[in-house]
């Protein structure tokens, strides 16, 4: 049961974790304090507390920033910006993956921003390979730096990042909501370049509300939530549509279907998102709405990428209505096979929807009618005038039937959708937009200070708790499981005991930290393979 009491309990646990990090920082135990701060942020990210930012926790990171200089042994001085030299941009990420919209967005940024030179730093890549889509747009083998070498704790990584940062004109953070390395490095840095935080996780708690110079929002609902729940002043909120590489069709719909084994005469509906984005809606979910429509229209097939073939969506294959494909490294062929694209619900997946629209496919979404939870739904400037948006399952079903029964309507809306996306992403258009973001005046010094962050537990907080209740990091035990590779030996023993008490054996916790990280990455790879 998700209710106010659970949010209050989460808040109390979070406050305890923040207090622990504060005490450790004051005692000069810098690395344990950094780990404790990251644990607190991880917990708040995965367990909604009624707060989307924490000035108190960020003050701990500022204090830890002072511990970086002794690690460096001497102050770092920023390289002066040179005239007639291409601006240099340092992109900082936490982890990079072969799949998912977050890494794809960074890859698109690197590819499209040809006016600047780019370097990528990754704070916690582990044993994962850096995807080729990232390195393909960078020049030289030294354009990616991995900070988490064996034996390098969070403070050491922050020191390395600070040393690198002085060489750049702009710093763009694409980091996870719980990443403390970037903020420890940059919060104590004298005369630093302007720091832009990309708000790619606008719906959850994240670090940086009082530390970033400006926040780059990808949609209006994220900017509104910054003002209402993070206390971020208007002059620190920038808007930039997500970078998107326009791809012309490599396959016709018929050719794509042939490759995937889909009937060429079918009306094909496609959706693509992580599994959790389809779950935990109160009342009926997306699958509940779609099944009656599919059963009433034998010419229709539904294909979804993300959800497991053995999970709830298995019914598609069981009844001959389509297929759940699980995680795909590339959904391009599936999108090219689509006649209609339906967004995930209750949590939107904007990247896949934009890619579908680019292929002249009509796109649909089901939004909650309550504007207070708008950040969970689909809103993106490119599709404001062409997105078929409904506020109920019945409405979605009715609009879907209209599209199924009219190929002319599908053609008309698909062409309009493709044209709308191209207006924002045609050659040079996004490059011009990102240039305006980089060149805009910095926020006033008074704006970058500890904001007033109201805590409240409302419809958004409860909806988030439902969406995230089956994800990673749930409860303090789940958070410790996520944090295991960063924990010290004694803390790992305590975490192993807590997890064992919950029936979750984690023998990797008893291994040295680098081995534990490798074991965790190996298990993740094996799960994806199966």
Q: What is the pLDDT of residues 229-241, one digit of tens each?
A: 999 999 999 999 9
Is residue 352 scored above 80 in pLDDT? yes
CA distances from 258 to 137, 201, 251, 263, 430 (A): 32, 36, 10, 7, 34
Is residue 51 scored above 80 in pLDDT? yes
pLDDT of residue 521: 61
pLDDT of residue 173: 98
Highest-confidence segment of 136-145, 369-378, 405-414: 405-414
Q: What share of the chain is helix, strand, coil (3-state, %, to 5)?
A: 50, 10, 40
- Tell me the pLDDT band of 275, cut-offs 50, 70 and 90: confident
C-beta pairs of 6-9 under 8 Å, 24+ apart in sequence: 6/465, 7/48, 7/49, 7/50, 7/457, 7/461, 7/462, 7/465, 8/50, 8/457
Instruction: Yes or no: say if 440 and 333 are a contact pair by the CB < 8 Å rule.
Output: no
Is residue 505 scored above 70 in pLDDT? no
Structure tokens at 168: 């750049």
pLDDT of residue 445: 54
Segment 389-430, tens digit of pLDDT: 999 999 999 999 999 999 999 999 999 999 999 988 887 899
Which of 404-427 are b and which e, b meaning 16 or more Cβ less than 10 Å from the residue's Cβ? Answer: beeeeebeebbebbbebbbebbee
Instruction: Yes or no: say if 184 and 65 are a contact pair by the CB < 8 Å rule.
Output: yes
pLDDT of residue 448: 54
pLDDT of residue 441: 86
Choose between 1 and 507: higher pLDDT.
Answer: 507
pLDDT of residue 334: 97
pLDDT of residue 495: 66
Is residue 225 scored above 90 in pLDDT? yes
Q: From CA 335, how far away is CA 346, in angstroms rounded?
A: 21
Q: What percent of the chain has pLDDT over 70?
A: 87
pLDDT of residue 479: 83
- Tell me the pLDDT band of 12, cut-offs 50, 70 and 90: very high
Lowest mean pLDDT of 241-245, 265-269, 275-279, 405-409, name the range: 275-279
Q: What is the mean pLDDT of residues 477-501?
A: 72
Q: What is the mean pLDDT of residues 45-52?
A: 95
Q: From CA 528, how far away is CA 138, in angstroms rounded?
A: 28
Q: What is the mean pLDDT of residues 304-311?
A: 93
- Report the top-level CATH class of 253-424: alpha beta
Helix (H, G, I), strand (E, B) or coil at 476: helix
Is residue 155 scored above 90 in pLDDT? yes
- Domain boundary assignment for the chain: 253-424, 488-529
Is residue 22 scored above 80 in pLDDT? yes
pLDDT of residue 271: 97
User: Tokens 């799960």 belong to which residue?
Assistant: 527
Q: What is the mean pLDDT of residues 112-127?
A: 93
Residue-averaged pLDDT of the chain = 88
- Give the Cβ contact number of residue 527 at 10 Å: 9
- Tell me the pLDDT band of 461, cut-offs 50, 70 and 90: very high
Choose between 288 and 275: higher pLDDT.
Answer: 288
H or E segment and range at residue 302? strand 300-305
Lowest mean pLDDT of 85-89, 475-479, 521-525, name the range: 521-525
Angle at the Cα of 399 (from 393 to 403), degrees rounded to 5?
140
Q: What is the mean pLDDT of residues 92-106?
A: 90
Q: From CA 85, how far away is CA 50, in angstroms rounded?
A: 46
pLDDT of residue 465: 87
- Tell me the pLDDT band of 277, cut-offs 50, 70 and 90: confident
Segment 168-220, tens digit of pLDDT: 999 999 999 999 999 999 987 888 899 999 999 999 999 999 999 999 999 99
The set of residues, in sequence order, having a beta carbon less than 8 Å from that of 494 and lying 6+ positions away, is: none
Is residue 464 scored above 80 in pLDDT? yes
Structure tokens at 245: 């590489």
Is residue 35 scored above 80 in pLDDT? yes
Tell how strand 300-305 and strand 388-390 pair up.
unpaired
């Amino acid at each position: 049961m998700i209710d106010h009491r659970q949010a209050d309990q989460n808040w109390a646990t979070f406050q305890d974790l923040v207090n622990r990090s504060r005490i450790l920082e004051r005692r000069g135990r810098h690395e344990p304090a950094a780990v404790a701060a990251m644990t607190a942020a991880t917990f708040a990210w995965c367990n909604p507390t009624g707060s989307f930012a924490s000035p108190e926790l960020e003050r701990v990171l500022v204090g830890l920033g002072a511990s970086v200089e002794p690690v460096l042994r001497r102050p770092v001085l920023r390289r002066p910006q040179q005239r007639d030299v291409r601006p240099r941009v340092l992109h900082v990420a936490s982890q990079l993956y072969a799949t998912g919209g977050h890494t794809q967005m960074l890859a698109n940024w690197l590819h499209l921003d040809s006016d600047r030179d780019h370097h990528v730093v990754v704070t916690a890549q582990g044993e994962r390979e850096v995807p080729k889509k990232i390195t393909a747009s960078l020049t030289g083998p030294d354009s990616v730096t991995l900070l988490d070498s064996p034996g390098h704790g969070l403070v050491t990584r922050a020191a390395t990042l600070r040393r690198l940062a002085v060489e750049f004109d702009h710093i763009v953070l694409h980091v996870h909501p719980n990443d403390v390395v970037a903020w420890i490095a940059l919060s104590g840095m004298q005369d630093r370049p302007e720091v832009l935080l990309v708000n790619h996780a606008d719906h959850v708690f994240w670090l940086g509300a009082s530390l970033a110079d400006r926040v780059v929002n990808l949609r209006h609902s994220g900017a509104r939530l910054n003002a209402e729940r993070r206390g971020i002043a208007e002059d620190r909120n920038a808007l930039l549509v997500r970078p998107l590489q326009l791809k012309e069709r490599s396959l016709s719909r018929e050719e794509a279907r042939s490759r995937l084994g889909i009937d060429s005469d079918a009306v094909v509906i496609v959706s693509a998102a992580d599994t959790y984005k389809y779950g935990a809606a109160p009342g009926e979910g997306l699958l509940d709405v779609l099944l009656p429509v599919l059963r009433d229209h034998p010419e229709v097939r539904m294909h979804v990428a993300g959800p497991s073939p053995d999970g709830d969506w298995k019914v598609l294959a069981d009844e001959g209505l389509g297929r759940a494909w699980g995680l795909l490294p590339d959904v391009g062929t599936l999108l090219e096979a689509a006649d209609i694209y339906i967004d995930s619900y209750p949590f939107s997946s904007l990247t896949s929807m934009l890619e579908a629209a680019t292929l002249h496919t009509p796109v649909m979404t089901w939004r909650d009618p309550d504007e207070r939870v708008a950040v969970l739904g689909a809103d993106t400037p490119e599709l404001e005038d062409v997105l078929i948006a409904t506020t109920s399952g019945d409405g979605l079903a009715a609009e879907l039937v209209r599209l199924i029964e009219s190929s002319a309507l599908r053609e008309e809306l698909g062409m309009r959708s493709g044209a709308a996306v191209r207006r924002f992403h045609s050659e040079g258009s996004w490059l011009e937009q990102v240039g305006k973001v980089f060149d805009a005046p910095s926020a006033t010094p008074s704006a970058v200070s500890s904001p007033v962050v109201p805590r409240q537990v409302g419809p958004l907080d409860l909806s988030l708790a439902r969406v995230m209740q089956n994800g990673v990091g749930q409860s303090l035990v789940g958070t410790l499981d996520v944090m295991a590779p960063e924990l010290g030996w004694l803390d790992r023993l305590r975490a192993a005991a807590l997890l064992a008490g919950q029936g979750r054996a984690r023998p990797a916790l008893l291994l040295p930290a680098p081995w534990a990280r490798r074991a965790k990455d190996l298990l993740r790879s094996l799960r994806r393979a199966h």
